[in-house]
Amino acid sequence: MPVTRLQIVARGLTHRCPNCGARTLFKPGALFRINAQCQPCGFRFERDKDEGFYLGSLSLNYGVTLVGCLLPVLLLWFNHVIGDKLAIGLAVGGAVGFPVLFYRSSRSWWLMNYYLLFPQHLPANGGTGRGDESTNR
């Protein structure tokens, strides 16, 4: 049964396999370890590490940290709502802590965004994964 774009979004927001929906994206008990592939369907989550597919999730994490964490601190400081020391503390804490907490979501959201644009690459939709030359239309 084909995977719809709505299913891709729902699976991305809940850290599930974009192909089958199983909760196998991350290794159990490990905050930063993504599985190489989905156990139930065999779908490979990552390309070879040399290709740099992870850079998309890194950029997503960086952008969300800037806009969602550091920009509000800057605006509060600029409007004299908070003082210098508190602004520095919040900025440093947010710049270090938020990306760590958002890591899993950024990896899942990056896969979601990719397959939202290229749903035909999913094996459930007849593809063989990212960059499948036979399914690029």
Q: pLDDT tens for residues 50-89?
A: 567 778 889 999 999 999 999 999 999 999 999 999 999 9
1 pLDDT higher than 80: no
Q: What is the DSSP letter of 44?
A: B
pTM: 0.80
- In percent, the amount of the chain with pLDDT more than 70 equals 91
Domain boundaries, the chain: 5-135
Average pLDDT, the chain: 87
Cα gap 117→69, rounded to integer Å: 27
Cα gap 58→110, rounded to integer Å: 9
Which residue did the predictor score with more confidence, 93 or 45?
93
Cα gap 25→84, rounded to integer Å: 41
pLDDT at 85: 94
List, for residues 88-131, the tens digit of each pLDDT value.
999 999 999 999 999 999 999 999 999 999 999 899 988 877 65
Is residue 103 within 8 A of residue 117, CB to CB? The reply is no
Which residues are 34's β-sheet partners?
26
